[in-house]
Chain A
Amino acid sequence: MTGNVGAAARAVDVWKSYGTGEAAVTALAGVSVEFDRGRFTAIMGPSGSGKSTLMHCLAGLDTIDSGDVWIGDTKVNGLRDKGLTDLRRRQVGFIFQQFNLLPTLTAEENITLPLAIGGQKVDRAWFDTVIDTVGLRDRLTHRPTQLSGGQQQRVACARALVARPEVVFADEPTGNLDSRSGAEVLGFLRRSARDFGQTVVMVTHDPNAASYADRVIFLADGRIVRELHDPTAAAVLDTMKALDGDDRLVVA
């Protein structure tokens, strides 16, 4: 099911800096990248490399200084709050490190929340497929406090998928999970790309997590510096070590 072609998300020569004058920090320095439909991409890089900023800008959560950002056919930069909200509602799904579920809602209500907010009907067949895939069938009436961390993150995954967005952005989704729960979540993300053609973009600093992806791009100092396809954990780790070396060279 990887036959879909064309970019689900695209950044063209994106520049972004924080602060002004002397204190200005360049987070993104002319990043151009495309995320193909139906692929699972990991963004890696050391702290301060701009990987989170890139994701936030792609998702329309943060503004850019110059360049263009596209989600599907929608140009993200230039949208006002309403347009951005619509974009997030229909074309983007999020998975956060902190799960971010609403404690007042049951698992099922949390999953269907994006649809409810937009006043859309739930596609029951798709909903069933999703919850069976994440294995939450018997947990639907539970509240977040009654779920384990792994279960909560699977609820968050299901929530991101249920509206069939153009792209799911996952920000360190395994950062708060033990390795077994983390593996479940990553396996699920990979499956959603392979089986359902869902485009997934994940930011992580964990080489093992990145190895689940179809493609890994490496950021340093706001630039894309390397790219791996169908990586193994070892290959990712080696690349990161090499980049570390590059950094030291740059600093020296």
Chain B
Amino acid sequence: MLKATLKSVLARKLRLVLSGLAVVLGVMFVSGSFVLTDTLDRSFKDLFATVYSEVDVEVAVKPKVDQGDPEAARAGTLTADDVKAVEAVAGVRTAVGDVIGSARPIGENGKVLTTSGAPRVGTAWRDGGQEELREGHAPARDDEVAISAYLAKTGGFTVGEQISVLTLEPKRTFTVAGIFGYPGNRDSLGGELTTAFTQPAAQQLLLAAPGAYSGITVRADEGVSQAVLRDRVQAALGDAYQVKTGEQLAKESADEIGEGLAFFNYVLLGFAGIALFVGIFIILNTFSIIVAQRTRELALLRAMGASRKQMIASVVLEAVVIGLVASVVGLAAGIGVGALLATLFSTFGGGSLQLAGIAVPSSAIISSFAVGIVVTVLAALLPALRASRIAPVAALREAATPDRPLTRLTVAGGVLSLAGGGMLGLGFADGTLWLIMTGLLVAFVGVALLTPLISRPVVSVIGKLLAWSMPGTLGRRNSARNPRRTAITAAALMVGIALITGVSVVLTSATTSITKVADTQIKADLIVSGESVNGESSGGFTADRLDRVLATPGVESAFGWYNDGVLVDGQQKFATVVTDVPAMARVFGLSATGGTIADLEDGQIAVDEPMATALNLRQGSTATVQTTKGEQRTYTVAFVLAKSRVLNEAVFLPESVVDEFALAQINTAFVKADPGVDAAEVRKAVEPVFADNPEVSVQDLSSYARQQASQLDTVLLMIQILLALAILIAVLGVINTLALSVIERTRELGLLRAIGMRRAQVMRMITVESVVISVFGALLGLVVGVALGVAAVRALTDMGITDLGIPWAQLGSYLLIAAGVGVVAAILPAIRAARLNVLQAISYE
């Protein structure tokens, strides 16, 4: 039996390749994810080990509000006395004050240079550090800087040229005195852009505190361990200081990135899971068709005395062989893809992140084989059972077994769809991710089981649109011929399309909501916004600029806000300081439910209703607030703002605490023009105020809203790319089904050719069948996807997605793509069908 099975596998290479390919792609995705994230993880560990290689202990001000940033450079500054105090500790060889902050160089095109994730750092130049001067000299005057070789390359700077840099202060221009690299001839440590100032300049520009330091780097005497020294320094300085060993910092930094990578890995594995889920449909279908086609052969085996167990074993064994081969190939391909992506990342993404060398983690190998074999065998189980139920007498029967009724299938499908829908509903209601995922899977299986029932009417309608000629009619009838087969093939496509559609609906709704809020709730004409990276403000502008805006002719009113993380009653919240609270209330149309809206006095705060509920506050009650740099104080709630669509969980602090924020800069300002004055004119008048700061943009409201929404387009694109694999696998399924159908219908094709059908007509017939299946799958996907999207949007109302937006054009394009996919999928089977030798085909058994 084993030999017979293996021979049967080898004899049908095409079948092996096509059904195996679905698994190969899924496994490739899995192992690729592991290899990529493992490689990057180790590379970052190496990077931080290098960064902190000359640090035994580092001292910083202990952050009062933990923002999860291991550097904590923004928490406060240290003085020269602090450095002396550290120097005095026994076992300290050297203690040097560091000045590190944010410095964003401006490129030749006048725009701020960006990295993909790595920081843009400013430091004070220090002889004897890791930096190795390659050209020129160290900055000697306050208008000179040295820049890293990576910055020189990125911005095209050479020694002697001018470079403009944004720091805590507005744009300043320097002369490039020198260019430096790092040990091992590296241009940067990990793709960061570094500008080194003189110490006084750095202290002023980066810390806004002359004579201060952001941290102290300590080297230990011979024989004193990092941990021992850390404890001694901590004891000498007291609890207000954060003292960490170099190893600790390296580990914490790497761990932080590692967490991000782990999340990234989960996301990739999630998409791999989707791809494999689709793969299950394909394999199940392939095996079902094969079992159906081999009914007589299998019945003959039964008639000759093969037991049911042997029948099951035979099919399962075939699945194991396919799964095993596919796992090996998929693992190898995944290693290649992972290595390729890691290289791409280090070349384009991280600048000069040195890869730690590609290795294959055991997790990749184990998961590849587990996933590959389990998925294949699981998918083959049902067809195997069906094979075992073939009666020996079927060997003697001429016709294939008639279609079994769909009642049981439909009932099961209905139950599963409802169960899946219910789980989804519960999951959306309280945001339980695993419930949503399981609900999705169950619902997909349920809908797939219902598909055969709906396939007949829907397919005949779709088919009628395409079938204007005899070949078309035949293609349409062929696609309606075996509802199960068509249904599973279409269902595989449904999964990918449904997910893409669902995501599109949610993101379009988010965009619609943002635009609608901007259109209806915000009565500003211009929005002045500083740059924000990942939603966090990295650079804004100072209050005097806002004054200049206010003084601009045509400006009726303007207010700006500052943001920072604070602790309110011990809970981390995002706080806002508004320069003109009544102006904000007018522009946003806010009203108070308790108290009256006015500028906040010292000792007063204001909250909106959601925040009041979250913190159990009301007008007149008190709360403690801890800012990043200041002391904890008790505030009284001056007024509570009614729930609005603009604010969500907002807490407002008086203007006096701005200096206690990590960055005392306004990041967004809203400008209202005088009545009757054109917004475009005001914009022209306001723009010069920020001409020297490329990080600040002055936009009218609608383009601001569009810009905010455009970030979602990137998310959508990424998801579409990742889901493309699921769709690719579904396409393989269509090809597979068609190819097997062509084999099955060899004699029919022979006959059609014999009675005068042209090759082109044969190809058209197969193409129509393929397009009908694909469009059916896409329609299913669109319906299910829109339903999913609508459910998700309903659940996300509290998150600010208040308006449902259906991206009709996008949905239409998905349908067109599906039709195109159908045409492409038909190419190979159609050619195969057209090339059949008429004489051989007609006598094919």
Contact = CB atoms under 8 A, between A and B. Distances in A.
Interface in A41-91: 56, 61-62, 81-82, 85-86, 88-90
Contact of A62 (B480, B750, B839): B839
B469 A94 contact: no
Interface in A190-230: none
B842 A100 contact: yes
A98 B842 CA distance: 9
Contact of B756 (A86, A96, A105): A86
Nearest to B477: A104
A37 interface: no
A56 B839 CA distance: 8
**Which 4 interchain pairs have the tightest Cβ spacing?**
A89-B756, A104-B477, A116-B470, A100-B751
Chain A interface helix/strand/loop/mixed: helix
A159 B752 CA distance: 12
B481 interface: yes
Contacts of A249: none
B374 interface: no
Nearest to B838: A61
A119 interface: yes
B758 interface: yes
Contacts of A89: 755-756
Nearest to A96: B842
Contacts, number: 67
A104 B756 contact: no
B706 to A, nearest CB: 52
Given A88-B754, A104-B477, A117 B470 contact: yes
Contact of B474 (A61, A86, A96, A104): A104
A118 B756 contact: yes
Interface in B72-110: none
Contacts of B629: none
B435 interface: no
Contacts of A94: 751, 754-755
B754 A61 contact: yes
Contacts of A182: none
Contact of A85 (B747, B750, B751, B753): B753
A19 to B, nearest CB: 15
Q: How large is the interface on B (under 10, 10 to 19, 20 to 34, 35 or more residues)?
A: 20 to 34
B481 A104 contact: yes
A49 to B, nearest CB: 17
Nearest to A99: B751
B757 interface: yes
Contacts of A85: 753, 756-759
A145 B400 CA distance: 11
16 contacts: A62-B839, A85-B759, A86-B756, A88-B753, A89-B755, A100-B842, A102-B752, A103-B481, A104-B474, A104-B477, A104-B480, A113-B752, A113-B755, A119-B469, A119-B470, A145-B399
B612 to A, nearest CB: 68
A173 interface: no
Contact of A114 (B480, B756, B758, B843): B756
Contacts of B759: 81, 85
Nearest to B478: A104
Contacts of B752: 102, 113, 117
Interface string B770-783: 00000000000000
Given A61-B839, A105-B477, A117-B471, A98 B747 contact: yes
Contacts of A145: 399
A89 B754 CA distance: 8
A100 B747 contact: yes
A128 to B, nearest CB: 21
A117 B752 CA distance: 9
A81 B756 CA distance: 10
B464 to A, nearest CB: 15
Given A82-B758, A102-B474, A116-B473, 16 more contacts: A81-B759, A88-B753, A89-B756, A94-B751, A100-B747, A100-B748, A103-B481, A104-B481, A113-B470, A113-B755, A114-B756, A117-B470, A117-B755, A117-B756, A117-B757, A117-B761
Contacts of A102: 474, 748, 751-752
A104 B471 CA distance: 12
Nearest to B752: A117
Interface in A164-192: none
A96 B838 CA distance: 13
A105 B765 CA distance: 14
